[in-house]
Chains A and B, each alone.
Chain A
Amino acid sequence: MTSPALSGGIASHLHPGASYDVAHHPTPSGREEVWRFTPLKRLRGLLEGSPSADDLDWDVQAPDGVRISQISTADAIDLGGPAPVDRLAALSVANSGGAVRLHVPDGTELDAPVRIRLRGATPEQLVWDHLVVTIGRSAQATVVLEYEGSATYSAMVQVLVGDGAQLQLARLQLWDDDAVHTGHVGLRIGRDARVRTFSASLGGDLVRLVETTEYDGPGGQLEQLGLYFADAGQHLEHRLFVDHNAPHTRSNVDYRGALQGLGAHTVWIGDVVIRKVAEGIETYESNRNLVLTDGCRADSVPNLEIETGEIIGAGHASTTGRFDDLQLFYLQSRGIPVDEARRLVVHGFFADIVRRLGVPEIETRLMAAVEDELVRSVGLPPASAVGA
């Protein structure tokens, strides 16, 4: 079974065809374009696809109007979400033994976020997951997925957003430092629907997430925000693909990362395809990385594949650098010690994006997590003066 969006004949070396069939996704050697950045050995055997009945602990807080149910894998596939784009995602569907469906019916406007906390017990725990989020026509919802503790975890998350709906989806990878988290988050955005996603990757030994977006009609809008903070030895990889397969759609991607400590490695691959049919679209993607210490590596590769020029605009930007000396000088010239000035700059770098989430309790939680990361860094002590 092949996803309709990717059967459209885009010959993109960055995006092998999507399929539920595991055999369609051979075990990578590490030389493939889409795998070359990933340290395969640290996937802890996930690629072998051993079955496992383990589950994360789910703690669900859902306001009235949300329906959460267990469904079969066949039923989940029948919902028509984007198919898995890589082996780990296909294995997640094949091995999860069914899916969890989170459904917000047509026209339902939730008055509070759906909050799902998923906790793993140990890194030895092997967990396959399959989650399908369906947002009905003209519904409005905020969904927050928070990952904590430790596990060796791979998930397929399919998100279907109905016509005219509004969804905010936040995924917070707040794992302990020995967790592995991989998989695919596939979005399909209905006509005139508006979607804002927010991804935060702070914990984990290895995080490798593929996020794809396609449109189910004209007028859909995507804002895709992300932050990541890699410490010594962490590998945090985010691969984004926006397929403008419908006219008058919009996308705006803004991912920011910080790195500190020996062997901290981040990978950000952004790709936007503008198909022939996608006239009048507008897209921009940006990735900025702040390198806080020596010994880190940030890979950042934006791509744009354009098949029509009849668009409003398309652009991308990628920057990777150390602190801006002028900013530090300005802050220091007001008496702020250099360590504190650095901390303030990093805080601002992330606060700038976190505040666009629009969910105050999560914003507070995330900025606290960023502060925790900064405390770990040599020369960036905690400070009392933050948060105003």
Chain B
Amino acid sequence: MATLDIRDLHVSVQTEDGAKEILRGVDLTVRSGETHAIMGPNGSGKSTLAYSVAGHPKYQVTSGSVTLDGVDVLDMTVDERARAGLFLAMQYPVEVPGVSVSNFLRTAKTAIDGEAPKLRTWIKDVNTALDKMSMDRDFAQRNVNEGFSGGEKKRNEIMQLELLNPRFAILDETDSGLDIDALRVVSEGVNRFSAQGDRGVLLITHYTRILRYITPDYVHVFVAGRIAEQGGAELAERLEAEGYDRYVRAGSGAVAVGEPASS
């Protein structure tokens, strides 16, 4: 049983006009075994939450805390956070020219486990992971994300999730840009990960579409840098019907990130 605890998190980014606050006091607790969906309009700060927890240097935490079983996460480097059990599936996975998927995965696995995986079982594990994500086996020889289609990039992220098997997975708009087949494959991967029973998932999404495949235990509506409402899976259904308008209007005093105050 592990707990990822986010308390009163405030995060800013540097812009040409100085520091701009994007997260304005986020409280969220994810326990192992739970799947949380974070939904919200564009620019509400959902992705900022993901990157801040993962430790992207662009995002400056100005106050609040993030702890993993009581241990301060914000004090850790990006790689330390990953080794502590956090995983971020990115919305825009990065190309690494000249580095094969195979080499990348093995280097990551070695770093996470603290020892190199046994060669024979490792090749089998990688092939199994590729098969599960309906990816060709020669994928492992391609350069990381180079020339991958949008769908291949997302499959590659979820394949890593399964191979590295962290304690908590943050999925940043993994569903965006996926066709229906890829969405199903990716969702099944996430469900296999959750089905272990002791893993936590923080699923960030703009659309309810992926929630037909992944059933969240909790749904949080994110507006203007903080959680505006929370509920169970039924909340997602209401969002499907009503959209985010209600929240955006209710929070008209709040400014959507990246947009002028008048919008």
List A residues at the B interface (Cβ < 8 Å): 324-327, 329-338, 340-341, 344-345, 347-353, 355, 383-388
Asked if B98 contacts A332 (CB within 8 A), the reply is no
Distance in Å from the Cβ of B58 to the closest Cβ of chain A? 8
Residue of B nearest to A326 (CB): B94
B-chain residues with CB within 8 Å of residue A385 when the two chains form the complex: 103, 106-107, 110, 116
Distance in Å from the Cβ of A31 to the closest Cβ of chain B? 39
- B57 within 8 Å of A (CB atoms): yes
Distance in Å from the Cβ of A241 to the closest Cβ of chain B? 27
What are 29 A-B pairs with beta-carbon distances under 8 A?
Answer: A326-B94, A327-B94, A327-B95, A327-B96, A329-B94, A330-B93, A331-B107, A333-B78, A333-B81, A334-B82, A334-B87, A334-B104, A334-B111, A334-B160, A335-B112, A336-B82, A338-B78, A344-B107, A345-B99, A347-B98, A348-B96, A348-B98, A352-B98, A355-B98, A385-B106, A386-B103, A388-B102, A388-B103, A388-B106
B56, B102, B106, B111 — most chain A CB neighbours (10 Å): B111
Asked if B96 contacts A332 (CB within 8 A), the reply is no
B88, B95, B106, B111: the one contacting A337 at CB < 8 Å is: B111
Known: A335-B79, A337-B79, A385-B116. A351 touches B99 (CB 8 A): yes
Asked if A348 contacts B90 (CB within 8 A), the reply is no
Asked if A344 contacts B96 (CB within 8 A), the reply is yes
Known: A352-B98, A388-B102. A334 touches B143 (CB 8 A): no
- B97 within 8 Å of A (CB atoms): yes
Known: A348-B97, A349-B98. A338 touches B106 (CB 8 A): no
Asked if A333 contacts B98 (CB within 8 A), the reply is no
B-chain residues with CB within 8 Å of residue A337 when the two chains form the complex: 77, 79, 111
Asked if A333 contacts B88 (CB within 8 A), the reply is yes
Asked if B99 contacts A335 (CB within 8 A), the reply is no
Asked if A344 contacts B82 (CB within 8 A), the reply is no
Distance in Å from the Cβ of B193 to the closest Cβ of chain A? 16
Q: How far is the CA of A385 from the CA of B81 in the complex (A)?
A: 21
B-chain residues with CB within 8 Å of residue A383 when the two chains form the complex: 107
Q: How far is the CA of A293 from the CA of B112 in the complex (A)?
A: 27
Asked if B103 contacts A387 (CB within 8 A), the reply is yes
- B155 within 8 Å of A (CB atoms): no
B-chain residues with CB within 8 Å of residue A344 when the two chains form the complex: 96, 99, 103-104, 107
A334, A353, A387 — most chain B CB neighbours (10 Å): A334
- B167 within 8 Å of A (CB atoms): no
Asked if A330 contacts B94 (CB within 8 A), the reply is yes
Q: How far is the CA of A344 from the CA of B108 in the complex (A)?
A: 11
Residue of B nearest to A288 (CB): B97
Q: How far is the CA of A344 from the CA of B97 in the complex (A)?
A: 10
Residue of A nearest to B141 (CB): A388
Residue of B nearest to A386 (CB): B103
User: Given contacts A344-B107, A386-B103, could you give 6 more A-B pairs where the C-beta distance is less than 8 Å?
Assistant: A330-B94, A332-B78, A333-B88, A334-B112, A336-B108, A340-B107
Q: How far is the CA of A333 from the CA of B171 in the complex (A)?
A: 13
Asked if B99 contacts A348 (CB within 8 A), the reply is yes
Q: How far is the CA of A337 from the CA of B79 in the complex (A)?
A: 6
- B100 within 8 Å of A (CB atoms): yes
The A/B interface has a contact count, at CB < 8 Å, of 101
Q: How far is the CA of A385 from the CA of B104 in the complex (A)?
A: 9
Residue of B nearest to A346 (CB): B98
List B residues at the A interface (Cβ < 8 Å): 54-57, 77-79, 81-83, 87-88, 90, 93-100, 102-104, 106-108, 110-112, 116, 143, 160, 164
Asked if A336 contacts B99 (CB within 8 A), the reply is no
Asked if B99 contacts A347 (CB within 8 A), the reply is yes
Known: A344-B107, A350-B98. A335 touches B56 (CB 8 A): no
Known: A344-B104, A385-B116, A388-B103. A335 touches B111 (CB 8 A): yes
Distance in Å from the Cβ of A336 to the closest Cβ of chain B? 5
Q: How far is the CA of A386 from the CA of B96 in the complex (A)?
A: 14
Distance in Å from the Cβ of A234 to the closest Cβ of chain B? 23
B-chain residues with CB within 8 Å of residue A351 when the two chains form the complex: 98-99
Distance in Å from the Cβ of A348 to the closest Cβ of chain B? 3
Asked if A335 contacts B143 (CB within 8 A), the reply is no
A-chain residues with CB within 8 Å of residue B100 when the two chains form the complex: 388
Q: How far is the CA of A381 from the CA of B263 in the complex (A)?
A: 51
Asked if B94 contacts A335 (CB within 8 A), the reply is no
B-chain residues with CB within 8 Å of residue A355 when the two chains form the complex: 98
Q: How far is the CA of A330 from the CA of B101 in the complex (A)?
A: 13
Asked if A335 contacts B108 (CB within 8 A), the reply is yes
B90, B107, B116: the one contacting A330 at CB < 8 Å is: B90
Asked if B111 contacts A340 (CB within 8 A), the reply is yes
B57, B96, B102, B104 — most chain A CB neighbours (10 Å): B96
Q: How far is the CA of A353 from the CA of B61 in the complex (A)?
A: 40
Q: How far is the CA of A334 from the CA of B88 in the complex (A)?
A: 8
Q: How far is the CA of A344 from the CA of B100 in the complex (A)?
A: 10
Asked if A335 contacts B57 (CB within 8 A), the reply is no
Known: A325-B57, A385-B106. A338 touches B79 (CB 8 A): yes
Asked if A329 contacts B56 (CB within 8 A), the reply is yes
B77, B103, B106, B143: the one contacting A332 at CB < 8 Å is: B77
B-chain residues with CB within 8 Å of residue A387 when the two chains form the complex: 103
B-chain residues with CB within 8 Å of residue A325 when the two chains form the complex: 57
Q: How far is the CA of A4 from the CA of B111 in the complex (A)?
A: 59
A-chain residues with CB within 8 Å of residue B143 when the two chains form the complex: 348, 352
Residue of A nearest to B100 (CB): A388
Residue of B nearest to A330 (CB): B94
Q: How far is the CA of A326 from the CA of B128 in the complex (A)?
A: 29
Distance in Å from the Cβ of B80 to the closest Cβ of chain A? 9
A336, A386, A387 — most chain B CB neighbours (10 Å): A336
B79, B83, B110, B143 — most chain A CB neighbours (10 Å): B79
Q: How far is the CA of A334 from the CA of B161 in the complex (A)?
A: 9
B-chain residues with CB within 8 Å of residue A345 when the two chains form the complex: 96, 99
Asked if B82 contacts A335 (CB within 8 A), the reply is yes
Distance in Å from the Cβ of A385 to the closest Cβ of chain B? 4
